[in-house]
């Protein structure tokens, strides 16, 4: 009875494990009637459990298979035997197709039949592993791999499947180990031993499953490999990925985005400014599904020194005035300006032509209105400081505040934009109530592990693909255009007005200006960039930076926000070097006045760790890792040091040290000497292992050294040879 | 021991013994070790396995005179040592030496005789001299006793007291020969016993000089320490009532010297000690009666002790 119970549980676990293989099949393929297959497995295990004679088992199973095939594929009833002739015909034709390797020509009836046969085999194998071999680890492991692979690469969600498999797998492993031990030690199991074994097993499994379920799970550290694999797989393939459309530097046609971005470090301009900031050139408002185009163009001209009517910051936003000088290296007839531009000063008298939709400012010659590219100019601009509380005030588009036409323009989307874009936007922002938090949530979404910044291998959307949809759901690899366009489209899909901004990032810090009041940055074609601006009725256009690895230094004050985030979020500049060195300089001058205080010191350590904790952590892990590795591989490199040492110091007495090193090394190698084992005995063991006589020879000499305190003169030469040979054997 | 070259003289002696004794090389070796280390051997075995034959072959090989004493319950000490008899012609007592006055003596079934006679023999073994009627007679040199004990019969035996067992350098068992060996024994039994044709390999002087050389075999401090550690642990070992004495340590060292010499070495290595310890120490250990009931034997205890003492593999730190 007990034995029956044992095999019953084993069969049950076997069934559950095998069932896991069928569950995804239902979800991922077009296979119907999966329950019949499950019943078939159940039937196989039941018959095996009942220990029915194999002939009866075969008959019953065959009958079941035929019955199922009939049920799935034939209209006639099972007992109208005419279908059998069809089926046998089908079998013969399919067999000939198999021989001809015409896999696609196989009929559904035959596939069903094959699946049954496969399950039959698997059920038999599981039965064999469980009851005869008493080992199931490989099958269990394969099941886990199967589930995780499906979970990674398909829509199948293995959340509960993993838990089920782990419980069943460990339970069955534990049971089998128990029975194996019983068999090996020749113990007859009784209820006492069973309880003794099962109790800790159950406790352990329950404990680990509970811990596994309730413990917090970190987001994956590595980016999702699937987009990579897909991108690699599609490279040069159909989807038009990676072909054509490559961009260099700043271009004006954005109607077809995508393709690789080719780096180019030719200098565009140098800027002398108080701090690092983004430089705008133009914005675009109409998303076509493939790229951006301006919806219309309204041109107006103003005098060269007049107030420039773009990027106006509402008067209720706190601002400070700044100015900067630009020295152009490339001939561009459009103005490159920071957000909040007020005025420009040229060396000569020019007039400006402004496109109010694109916010593009062209520079024209004063007399003939021909486009001209000035060598340098300086700009006056306002730097806004936004209040988070005010930004959060906007929760919906209020018709009193936003003009309907304006709203329609900046929430425009192509008709064929897939619905899942909007669904994604809603799911990202479902916890947020106001526009600002929603925009931040979307911005954060791109910072997640799913997305990868890359300038190469970026897909070009095919004829029926949407640029944003492709990036968000399929490739997840891209550069600024992908990120910024996607953010703009996501926000538009939930009714938040956005526009797409092009320009340059802050560039590379070069040096301080002569009077040290300004910093000089160099902006190259590599710094060409695009980002997003979101419109808040009470705050104007506020820039956001969705691109992974980039930060725009927009200052937003969170202090008034019920004290939860009591700090001004001044997003760190991209290249922190200049500011740091500036701070350093400041602190140097301060230090001369200040006496050293421990708390300051402590604070600086703390801030250092706060800022650099990633590097500290990486360094720490690297040091630990290297040390561990060195220790792990000590058998490989320590002997080499001694090899060298003994080559340099030729003394007969070296054998004393050398032999002990060899003993240690052999032990590391896995040839352990028991404490009571004599050297001679051990040497014979080593020699049998290496099929040589060197250890015995060496040991004889060492015995002379150790037990006789005498050594033949000049014996080190042979000794060294023997010793080196042995050591080398252990390193190899 | 593939690497070892045996001492040529000793190898010849062993070959000589092998001419008459089939198999049992280790017994022959051990007996020779006892002879070379100036000790004595206690053989515990049933009759008829070739003890006498071996001792005679040994005696012949070293050109020593061989005596045999069959111990019986009525044997008197004077039957062993010799007696002064009044010679009417010379009108004085004249000493008639007993069988103990030989070089190699086989004391057969030593546990059959009375303790008094036993002690006469043992005294001779220890002191290398006997005192009769106030006159001390030096025994011949070399002097080697091989005593046998029959473990089968307990009726009418006087087991040797443990304190006296200490006098034997080695105790061993001979055991029955293997099947092939026994067949060979039968083959040889059909011919004239070859013992008569044996030629001596060395004379007594040669043997004595070998004994002298053996005393020169180097025993390192580490090895001495190893010996002492082993002997010491026999004293502390649970289930041991009385461990081996310092005499046991000396015996182990001497035997090891002889063994090393036999294998052509002039220094002792731990292998020698490990090999010899059971033969040297097991009869010097008295087990607790619980241990005896558990079926433990002294040999097993010695082996366990050896397994627990680490072999010295580096020089002692001074």
What angle separates helix B298-308 from helix B221-236, to the nearest 10 degrees? 130
| H or E stretch at A286 | strand A286-287
Q: Measured on CA atoms in the order A467, A469, A475, A479, is the torsion positive or negative?
A: positive
A57 domain residue, yes or no: yes
Q: Is A679 on the interface with B (CB under 8 A)?
A: yes
A307 and A350: one domain? yes
Whole-number Cα distances in Å, B94 to A188, A562, B80, B100: 80, 130, 16, 17
Whole-number Cα distances in Å, A118 to A44, A81, A112: 12, 25, 10
Question: Across chain A, what does the average pLDDT equal?
Answer: 80
Rounded-to-integer distance, Cα A451 and Cα A490, Å: 15
A191 and A271: one domain? no
User: Chain A contacts of B220, Cβ < 8 Å?
Assistant: 706-709
A199 and A328: one domain? no
Q: In which band, very low, low, confident or very high, does the pLDDT at A230 lie, cut at 50, 70 and 90? A: low
Q: Are A242 and A457 in contact (CB under 8 A)?
A: yes
Rounded-to-integer distance, Cα B35 and Cα B279, Å: 14
* Three-state secondary-structure class, residue A427: helix
Task: Tell me if A678 and B268 make a contact (CB, 8 A cut-off).
Answer: no
Mutation choice for A interface testing from B263, B304, B311 by most A CBs within 10 A: B311
Tens-digit pLDDT profile for residues A86-111 = 888 888 888 888 888 877 778 888 88
DSSP state at residue A652: T
Q: Which of B255, B257, B267, B269 has the alpha carbon at shortest distance from B311? A: B269
Distance from CA of A676 to the nearest CA of B (A): 5
A407 domain residue, yes or no: no
Rounded-to-integer distance, Cα B4 and Cα B260, Å: 10
A209 and A311: one domain? no
A696 domain residue, yes or no: yes
What percentage of chain A's residues is helix, strand, coil (to nearest 5)?
50, 15, 35
Whole-number Cα distances in Å, A88 to A83, A85, A117: 9, 5, 16
Q: How many CB atoms lie within 10 A of CB A2?
A: 9
A116 domain residue, yes or no: yes
Q: Is B189 on the interface with A (CB under 8 A)?
A: no
User: Chain A contacts of B313, Cβ < 8 Å?
Assistant: 660, 663, 679, 706
Task: Tell me if A676 and B312 make a contact (CB, 8 A cut-off).
Answer: no
Domain boundary among A183, A214, A245: A214
Rounded-to-integer distance, Cα A12 and Cα A193, Å: 22
The answer, yes or no, to whether residue A249 has pLDDT greater than 60, is no
Q: How many CB atoms lie within 10 A of CB B111?
A: 20
A396 domain residue, yes or no: no
Q: In which band, very low, low, confident or very high, does the pLDDT at A437 lie, cut at 50, 70 and 90? A: confident
What pLDDT is attached to residue A547?
A: 85
Between A389 and A230, the higher pLDDT residue: A389
What pLDDT is attached to residue A477?
A: 83
Rounded-to-integer distance, Cα A683 and Cα A692, Å: 10
A538 domain residue, yes or no: no
**Torsion, Cα of A82, A86, A92, A93 (10° steps):** 170
What pLDDT is attached to residue B44?
A: 84
Whole-number Cα distances in Å, B76 to A103, B69, B72, B82, B106: 107, 12, 9, 10, 17
The pair of three-digit structure tokens given for residue A573, joined into one six-digit string: 């500049």
What pLDDT is attached to residue B2?
A: 39
* Three-state secondary-structure class, residue A629: helix
Rounded-to-integer distance, Cα A514 and Cα B309, Å: 82
What pLDDT is attached to residue A657?
A: 85
How many structural domains are present in chain A? 4
What pLDDT is attached to residue B281?
A: 92
The answer, yes or no, to whether residue A571 has pLDDT greater than 50, is no
Domain boundary among A361, A384, A407: A384
Task: Tell me if A656 and B315 make a contact (CB, 8 A cut-off).
Answer: yes
DSSP state at residue A219: P
Mean pLDDT across the stretch A631-650? 82
Nearest by CB to residue A660, choosing from B269, B307, B314, is B314
A residues 619-658 closer than 8 Å to B (CB): 656
Nearest by CB to residue A676, choosing from B266, B267, B308, is B308
Q: How many CB atoms lie within 10 A of CB A516?
A: 9
Between A601 and A61, the higher pLDDT residue: A61
Q: Is B317 on the interface with A (CB under 8 A)?
A: no
A53 and A198: one domain? yes
Rg of chain B taking only CA atoms, in angstroms? 20
Distance from CA of B215 to the nearest CA of A (A): 15
A78 and A192: one domain? yes
Percent of chain A with pLDDT over 90: 3
Distance from CA of A675 to the nearest CA of B (A): 5
One-character DSSP codes across B94-132: EEEE-TTSSSEEEEETGGGS-HHHHHHHHHHHHHSEEEE
Whole-number Cα distances in Å, A184 to A5, A96, A178: 21, 50, 10
Domain boundary among A342, A359, A384: A384
Rounded-to-integer distance, Cα A172 and Cα B243, Å: 54
Task: Tell me if A700 and B266 make a contact (CB, 8 A cut-off).
Answer: no
Rounded-to-integer distance, Cα A274 and Cα A288, Å: 38
Q: Are B280 and B251 in contact (CB under 8 A)?
A: yes
A564 domain residue, yes or no: no
All domains in chain B, ordered by first residue: 8-209 (3.40.50.300), 216-308 (1.10.8.80)
Q: Is B35 on the interface with A (CB under 8 A)?
A: no
Q: How many CB atoms lie within 10 A of CB B54?
A: 22
Domain range for A90: 2-214
Q: How many CB atoms lie within 10 A of CB A629?
A: 10
Between A1 and A523, the higher pLDDT residue: A523
* Three-state secondary-structure class, residue A292: strand
Preceding omega of A37 cis (within 30 degrees of 0): no
A41 and A190: one domain? yes
Q: ∠ CA(A196), CA(A200), CA(A204), 5° rounding?
A: 165
Rounded-to-integer distance, Cα B166 and Cα A352, Å: 123
Q: Is B307 on the interface with A (CB under 8 A)?
A: yes
Q: How many CB atoms lie within 10 A of CB A603?
A: 11
Q: Which of B194, B263, B246, B228 has the alpha carbon at shortest distance from B32? A: B263
A642 and A599: one domain? no
Q: Is A416 on the interface with B (CB under 8 A)?
A: no
Q: Are A556 and A437 in contact (CB under 8 A)?
A: no
What pLDDT is attached to residue A251?
A: 67
* Three-state secondary-structure class, residue A556: strand
10-residue mean pLDDT profile of chain B (318 residues): values are 69 86 85 91 83 86 87 86 83 82 87 86 82 80 86 73 83 87 84 77 88 91 92 88 90 94 91 93 88 85 91 77
What pLDDT is attached to residue A593?
A: 43
A655 and A615: one domain? no
A613 and A642: one domain? no
Q: Is A678 on the interface with B (CB under 8 A)?
A: yes
User: Which residue is listed with tokens 């759901």?
Assistant: A473
Whole-number Cα distances in Å, A721 to A697, A715, A725, B139: 11, 10, 6, 55
User: Which residue is listed with tokens 């007049």?
Assistant: A306
Q: Are B231 and B58 in contact (CB under 8 A)?
A: no
User: Chain A contacts of B269, Cβ < 8 Å?
Assistant: 678-680, 703, 707
What pLDDT is attached to residue A241?
A: 38
Mean pLDDT across the stretch A203-213? 87
Rounded-to-integer distance, Cα B49 and Cα B175, Å: 7
User: Chain B contacts of A676, Cβ < 8 Å?
Assistant: 274, 306-311
Task: Tell me if A703 and B3 make a contact (CB, 8 A cut-off).
Answer: no
Mutation choice for A interface testing from B314, B316, B317 by most A CBs within 10 A: B314
One-character DSSP codes across chain B: -TT----HHHHHHHHHHHHHS-S-HHHHHHHHHHHHTT--EEEE--TTSSHHHHHHHHHHHTT--EEEEE--TT--HHHHHEEEEEETTTTEEEEEE-TTSSSEEEEETGGGS-HHHHHHHHHHHHHSEEEETTEEEEPPSS-EEEEEE-SS--TT--PPPHHHHTT-SEEE---PPPHHHHHHHHHHHTS--GGGG---SS-HHHHHHHHHHHHTSB--HHHHHHHHHHHHHHHH-TTEEE---HHHHHHHHHHHHHHHHHTT-SB--HHHHHHHHHHHHGGG-EE-HHHHHTT--HHHHHHHHHHHSPPP-SPPP-
What pLDDT is attached to residue B214?
A: 92
What pLDDT is attached to residue B272?
A: 92
What pLDDT is attached to residue A223?
A: 60
Between B274 and A334, the higher pLDDT residue: B274
Q: Phi, psi (5° rounding) for residue A193?
A: -65, -35
- ipTM (interface pTM): 0.85
pTM for the complete prediction? 0.46
Q: In which band, very low, low, confident or very high, does the pLDDT at A229 lie, cut at 50, 70 and 90? A: low
What pLDDT is attached to residue A189?
A: 67
What angle separates helix A159-185 from helix A191-214, to the nearest 10 degrees? 150
User: Chain B contacts of A677, Cβ < 8 Å?
Assistant: 311
A197 and A72: one domain? yes
A203 and A76: one domain? yes
User: Chain B contacts of A697, Cβ < 8 Å?
Assistant: 3
Rounded-to-integer distance, Cα A533 and Cα A545, Å: 9
| Cβ-count burial A539-556 (b if 16+ within 10 Å, e if not) | bbbbbbbbbbebebbbeb
| H or E stretch at A725 | helix A716-731
Task: Tell me if B3 and A704 make a contact (CB, 8 A cut-off).
Answer: no
E-assigned strand segments in A537-627: 540-544, 555-557, 568-570
Q: In which band, very low, low, confident or very high, does the pLDDT at A404 lie, cut at 50, 70 and 90? A: confident
A597 domain residue, yes or no: yes
Helix runs in A379-532, H state only = 388-391, 404-410, 419-429, 435-447, 467-469, 480-493
| H or E stretch at A382 | strand A376-387
Q: Which of B77, B133, B134 has the alpha carbon at shortest distance from B100? A: B77
What pLDDT is attached to residue A595?
A: 52
User: Chain B contacts of A675, Cβ < 8 Å?
Assistant: 310-311
Checking phi first, is residue A186 left (phi over 0); if not, alpha (psi -120 to 50) or beta? left
One-character DSSP codes across A130-189: IIII---HHHHHHHHHHHHHHHHHSS---HHHHHHHHHHHHHHHHHHHHHHHHHHHTPPP
Q: Which of A539, A502, A508 has the alpha carbon at shortest distance from A521? A: A508
């Amino acid at each position: 009875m007990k034995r029956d119970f044992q095999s019953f549980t084993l069969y049950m676990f076997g069934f559950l494990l095998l069932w896991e293989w069928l569950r995804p099949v239902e979800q991922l393929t077009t296979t119907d009637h999966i329950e019949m297959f499950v019943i078939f497995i159940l039937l196989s295990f039941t018959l095996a459990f009942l220990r029915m004679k194999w002939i009866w088992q075969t008959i019953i199973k065959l009958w079941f298979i035929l019955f199922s095939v009939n049920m799935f594929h034939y209209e006639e009833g099972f007992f109208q035997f005419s279908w059998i002739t069809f089926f046998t015909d089908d079998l013969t034709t399919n067999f000939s197709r198999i021989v001809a390797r015409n896999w696609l020509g196989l009929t559904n009836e035959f596939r069903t039949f094959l699946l049954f046969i496969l399950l039959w085999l698997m059920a038999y194998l599981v039965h064999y592993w469980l009851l005869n071999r008493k080992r199931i680890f490989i099958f269990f492991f394969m099941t886990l791999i199967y589930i995780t692979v499906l979970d990674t690469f398909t829509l199948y969600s293995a959340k509960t499947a993993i838990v089920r498999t782990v419980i069943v797998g460990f339970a069955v492993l534990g049971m089998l180990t128990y029975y194996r031990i019983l068999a090996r030690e020749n113990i007859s199991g009784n209820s006492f031993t069973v309880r003794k074994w099962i109790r800790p097993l159950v406790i352990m499994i329950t404990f680990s499953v509970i811990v596994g379920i309730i413990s917090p799970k970190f987001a994956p550290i590595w980016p999702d490999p699937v987009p990579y694999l897909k991108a690699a797989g599609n490279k040069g393939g159909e989807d038009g990925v990676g072909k054509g459309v490559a961009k260099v530097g700043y271009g004006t046609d954005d109607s077809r985005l995508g393709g690789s971005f080719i780096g180019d470090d030719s200098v565009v301009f140098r800027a002398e400014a108080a701090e690092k900031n983004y430089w705008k050139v133009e914005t675009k408002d109409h998303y076509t599904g493939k790229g951006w185009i301006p919806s219309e163009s309204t041109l107006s001209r103003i005098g060269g020194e007049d107030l420039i009517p773009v990027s106006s910051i509402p008067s209720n936003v706190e601002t400070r005035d700044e100015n900067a000088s630009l020295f152009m290296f490339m001939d561009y007839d459009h103005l490159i300006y920071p957000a909040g531009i007020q005025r420009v000063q040229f060396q000569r008298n020019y007039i400006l032509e402004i496109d109010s939709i694109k916010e593009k400012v062209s520079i024209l010659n004063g007399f003939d209105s021909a486009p001209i590219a000035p060598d340098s100019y300086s700009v006056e601009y306002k730097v806004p400081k936004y209040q988070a509380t005010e930004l959060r005030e906007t929760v919906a588009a209020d018709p009193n505040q936003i003009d309907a036409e304006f709203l329609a323009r900046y929430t425009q989307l192509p008709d064929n934009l897939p619905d899942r874009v909007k669904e994604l936007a809603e799911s990202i922002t479902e916890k947020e109530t106001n526009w600002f938090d929603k925009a931040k949530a979307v911005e954060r979404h791109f910072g997640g592990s799913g997305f990868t910044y890359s300038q190469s291998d970026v897909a070009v959307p095919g004829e029926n693909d949407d640029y944003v949809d492709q990036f968000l759901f399929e490739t997840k690899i891209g550069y600024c255009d992908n990120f910024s366009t996607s953010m703009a489209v996501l926000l538009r899909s939930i009714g938040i007005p956005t526009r797409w901004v092009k320009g340059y990032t802050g560039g590379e810090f070069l040096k301080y200006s002569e009077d040290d009041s300004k910093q000089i940055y160099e902006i190259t074609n590599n710094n060409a960039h695009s980002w997003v601006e979101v419109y808040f009725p009470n705050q104007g256009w506020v820039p956001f930076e969705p691109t992974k690895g980039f930060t725009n230094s927009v200052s937003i004050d969170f202090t008034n926000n019920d004290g939860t985030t009591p700090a001004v979020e001044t997003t760190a500049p991209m290249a922190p070097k200049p500011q740091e060195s500036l701070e350093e300089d400041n602190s140097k001058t301060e230090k001369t006045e200040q006496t050293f205080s421990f708390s300051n010191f402590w604070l600086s350590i703390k801030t250092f760790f706060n800022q650099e904790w990633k590097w500290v952590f990486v360094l720490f892990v690297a040091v630990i890792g290297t040390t561990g590795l060195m220790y792990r591989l000590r058998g490989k490199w320590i002997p080499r040091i001694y090899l060298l040492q003994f080559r340099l110091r030729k003394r007969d007495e070296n054998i004393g040290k050398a032999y002990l090193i060899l003993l240690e090394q052999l032990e590391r190698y896995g040839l352990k000497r028991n404490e009571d084992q004599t050297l001679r005995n051990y040497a014979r063991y080593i020699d049998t292992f290496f099929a040589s006589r060197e250890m015995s020879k060496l040991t004889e000499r060492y015995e002379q050294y150790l037990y006789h305190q005498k050594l033949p003169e000049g014996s080190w030469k042979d000794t060294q040879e023997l010793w080196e040979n042995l050591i080398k054997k252990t390193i190899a | 021991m593939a690497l070892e070259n045996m001492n040529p003289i000793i190898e010849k002696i062993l070959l000589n013994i092998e001419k008459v004794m089939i198999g049992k090389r280790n017994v022959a070796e051990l007996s020779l070790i006892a002879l070379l280390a100036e000790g004595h051997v206690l053989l515990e075995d049933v009759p008829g396995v070739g003890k006498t034959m071996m001792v005679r072959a040994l005696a012949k090989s070293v050109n020593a005179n061989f005596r045999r004493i069959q111990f019986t319950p009525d044997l008197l000490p004077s039957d062993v040592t010799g007696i002064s008899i009044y010679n009417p012609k010379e009108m004085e007592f004249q000493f008639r030496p007993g069988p103990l006055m030989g070089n190699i003596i086989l004391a057969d079934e030593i546990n059959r005789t009375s303790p008094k006679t036993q002690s006469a023999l043992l005294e001779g073994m220890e002191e290398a001299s006997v005192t009769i009627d106030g006159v001390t007679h030096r025994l011949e040199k070399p002097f080697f006793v091989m005593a046998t004990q029959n473990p089968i019969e307990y009726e009418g035996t006087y087991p040797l007291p443990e304190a006296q067992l200490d006098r034997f350098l080695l105790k061993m068992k001979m055991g029955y020969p293997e099947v092939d060996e026994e067949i060979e024994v039968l083959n040889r039994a059909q011919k004239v016993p070859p013992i008569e044709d044996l030629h001596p390999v060395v004379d007594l002087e040669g043997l004595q000089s070998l004994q002298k050389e053996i005393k020169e075999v180097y025993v390192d401090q580490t090895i001495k320490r190893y010996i002492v550690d082993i002997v010491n642990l026999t004293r502390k070992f649970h289930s041991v009532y009385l461990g081996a004495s310092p005499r046991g340590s000396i015996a182990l060292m001497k035997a090891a010297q002889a063994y090393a010499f036999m294998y052509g070495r002039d220094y002792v290595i731990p292998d020698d000690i490990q090999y010899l310890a059971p033969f040297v120490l097991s009869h010097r250990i008295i087990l607790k009666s619980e241990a005896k009931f558990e079926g433990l034997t002294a040999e097993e205890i010695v082996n366990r002790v050896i397994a627990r003492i680490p072999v010295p593999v580096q020089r002692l730190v001074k």
